[in-house]
Amino acid sequence: MNQKIRVVIAKPGLDGHDRGAKVIARALRDAGMEVIYTGLRQTPEQIVGAALQEDADVIGLSILSGAHMHICPKVMELLKEKGLTDVLVVIGGIIPDVDVPKLNAMGIGGIFLPGSPMQDIVDYITKNVRSRVEQI
Amino acid sequence: MKTAAPEPTKERLAERKGPFTTISGRPIERLYTPDDIRSLDYARDLGNPGDFPYTRGIHPTGYRGKLWTMRQFAGFGTPEETNERYKQLLRAGGTGLSVAFDLPTLMGRDPDHELSLGEVGKCGVNITSLADMETLFDGIELGGITTSMTINSPAPMIYAMYLVVAEKQALRHGSGQGAWQNLSGTIQNDILKEFIAQKEYIYPPRPSMRLITDIFTFSAREVPKWNTISVSGYHIREAGATAAQELAFTLRDGVEYVQYGIDAGLDVDEFAPRISFFFNSHSDFFEEIAKYRAARRIWAHVMRDRFKAKNPRSWQLRFHTQTAGVSLTAQQPYNNVVRTALQALAAVLGGSNSLHTNSLDEALALPTAEAATLALRTQQIIAHESGVTNVVDPLGGSYFVEKLTRDMEEEALAYFDTIDRMGGMVEAIERGYPQREVAESSYRFQQSVEKREKVIVGVNDFVAENEAPIEILYIDESAAEKQLAKLETLKRTRDNEAVTRTLGALRDGARGSANTMPLLIDAVRAYATVGEMCDALRDVWGEYEETPII
């Protein structure tokens, strides 16, 4: 039996622009996922901690401030440390083209820039999330 | 004569598939006629420009007397780099300065704070202490220009720094006395919209309001030409509000500030003339123009009738406008030049007193120098080539615009009632009311875009495959490295005893009822950092944590 996909939506760093994160959170809920929104100004430690605590399948990071090249490596490193390497990490926000391959190389496949339709994000997650059924 | 619009028949007057609504979802009729403004009374509802209720503008001569201030928001990296960009903008014809600070500065954190890592200089200029402020304005005479500073929670600290820089400059030319008496500029200093939309709050609502009324009181006496607040709708709109919500929440925030100022013991006319406003200019051309005209009329009545202000300058709404950042697309960025031009024109036709035009690349990054120049040229072309500045309030009397102005005013006043019944804006925020309205509007808008009810050119229609990337401004970690090095030197070379002493006095004053501005000025003079001063107040008031509303 398929359980709901569990998604932590997080706002790392100092950026408080949360319109996108909240709209995506709601879209994912409407698509039948279980969504936990961390709120603002989270450290990588707090985000990974929330993912662990909430048994998340997905972490969605919303970063518009340009701090992604600092935050993302830390998040990926902490996920590895905690044995959470099969958690799917997606990111939305303002990411310069030159940084996209670097994020891909870190293991972040879903990078959603301005103008990305909500359905694309829902589809990407649905397609790439680890299967919970296999876990049991 | 019958002026009602004829009903469409199948062949003649068939329309495209609707609905025909503004970007806010407001339905628009096909045609407006004298019937739509039958109850409009010129003297009562419009007045000439410069006459109550100022619907047509606050100056009789409009832009014939003085063009709007071309005030481009700018800032990135180190104070040195931003100083250079300000000089470029002034050489290119900008007529006012506007400071964009980075997130650490905005959130009252020094560059060496854990949360500042990766953030220094990325979204604006990093200002850590008075030394940075001096560098930021090096070679720029503060007495000869007006500066607007987009700063909210640490507004008192940044304002104090600006005042000390102005004073030091004046002392250097031997005119130290009265440097503040003629100093003009603006601090955004609008915490209510932070709780509603931008989320750059530090302290809880009530201590935050105290800092603001301290500034009202201090400035009324010491810096009488300073605009102590820029009550903002821009951010509320960017967060997803409709035009009517932007109008309503902004002006109701204004009402809250006036009430708090009066409750703090000021006479309304002592500080109300120095309240200014800041609106968005979004994509629906006529909705925006109507919004600005409604704003002036609503505020005039609020100040004269609700608050019994006597000075006409207390009744006159002055505003800065920024074209809508949220409307810019990452796809086909050159389309943004067109969007910005139309939005700028709407602001001008609405009588904005000051204007910032966005750059074409701002959905991707902070603007390059070339993009920033083109944004300024957009304003200059409107001002000098379009002819719209020859006449004041050219759309006054339009059946459509006057009806829309009236409709927006009514919708805003309905929101006022709701918020008044909740006990005020602070109470409404504590209940999550405006935040929920904004969240609903933003989700509804996104759904309408995904269903293609709203077309966004280049994004959900007229899409281009394989676009070539454009060159953007990339800010690396060198700004952080430089600012960290300066901070380290500062802490070694300043009088740390004075810093400790002034921060202690600040904490004591904040716990009591002293005006925090003189205490902050003392700390600033001792080269206390933004983080240190904000932390001192964190010690007293703690930090606010919101209950997120999806």
pLDDT digits (tens, 9 = 90+) for B393-411: 999 999 999 999 999 999 9
CB under 8 A, 24+ apart: contacts of B413-419: B413/B248, B413/B298, B414/B248, B415/B244, B415/B245, B415/B248, B415/B249, B415/B252, B416/B248, B416/B251, B416/B252, B416/B255, B419/B252
CB contact under 8 A, B122 and A65: yes
How many other C-beta atoms are found inside a 10 Å radius of the C-beta of residue B139?
9
- For residue B27, the 8-state DSSP code is B
CA distance B403 to B397: 9
CATH C-level class of B34-57+65-387+394-450: alpha beta
Query: Tell me, what's the ipTM?
Result: 0.94
pLDDT at B3: 60
pLDDT at B4: 63
CA distance B106 to B526: 21
B119 touches chain A (CB under 8 A): yes
CB contact under 8 A, B548 and A23: no
CB contact under 8 A, A14 and B106: yes
CB contact under 8 A, B199 and A18: yes
B:476-505 residues touching chain A, CB 8 A cutoff? none
CB contact under 8 A, A43 and B475: no
pLDDT at B492: 98
Where do the domains of chain A lie, and which CATH numbers do they carry? 6-135 (3.40.50.280)
CB contact under 8 A, B238 and A19: yes
CA distance B21 to B445: 12
Q: With beta carbons less than 8 A apart as the criterion, state whether B280 and B237 touch.
A: yes
Cα distances (angstroms) measured from residue B197 to each of A102, B98, B278, B429: 32, 21, 14, 11
- Residue A129 one-letter amino acid: V
Q: Mean pLDDT throughout B128-157?
A: 97
Q: Which residues of A touch B546 (CB under 8 A)?
A: 39-40
pLDDT at B176: 62
- pLDDT of B120 above 70: yes
- pLDDT of B201 above 70: yes
CB contact under 8 A, B103 and A96: no
- Residue B298 one-letter amino acid: I
Helix (H, G, I), strand (E, B) or coil at A88: strand
Bigger pLDDT: B116 or B11? B116
Predicted confidence band of residue B173 (pLDDT cuts 50, 70, 90) = confident
Q: With beta carbons less than 8 A apart as the criterion, state whether B108 and B127 touch.
A: no
Is the preceding omega at residue B207 within 30 degrees of 0, hence cis?
A: no
Predicted confidence band of residue B14 (pLDDT cuts 50, 70, 90) = confident
A132 touches chain B (CB under 8 A): no
pLDDT digits (tens, 9 = 90+) for B222-255: 999 999 999 999 999 999 999 999 999 999 999 9
Strand partners, B101: B125
For chain B, give the mean pLDDT: 96
How many other C-beta atoms are found inside a 10 Å radius of the C-beta of residue B488?
12
% of chain B beyond a pLDDT of 90: 94
CB contact under 8 A, A118 and B446: yes
B contact test, residue of A7, A9, A11, A19 with most B CBs within 10 A? A19
pLDDT at A133: 52
Please give the average pLDDT of every successive group of 10 residues along chain A, which has 136 residues: 88 96 97 97 97 97 94 97 96 94 95 94 95 54
Longest CA pairwise span in chain B (Å): 85
Separation in Å, CA of A108 to nearest CA in chain B: 18
B324 — alpha (psi -120 to 50), left (phi > 0) or beta? Answer: beta
Task: At B61, give phi and psi (nearest 5°).
Answer: -95, -5
pLDDT at A136: 44
- pLDDT of B1 above 60: no
A115 touches chain B (CB under 8 A): yes
- pLDDT of B114 above 50: yes
Please state the domain extents for chain B: 34-57+65-387+394-450
B517 touches chain A (CB under 8 A): no
A52 touches chain B (CB under 8 A): no
pLDDT digits (tens, 9 = 90+) for B429-488: 999 999 999 999 999 999 999 999 999 999 999 999 989 999 999 999 999 999 999 999
B:357-386 residues touching chain A, CB 8 A cutoff? 363-365
pLDDT at A130: 85
Cα distances (angstroms) measured from residue B459 to each of B176, B194, B342, B361, B488: 55, 29, 19, 15, 47
A22 touches chain B (CB under 8 A): yes
CA distance B525 to A41: 30
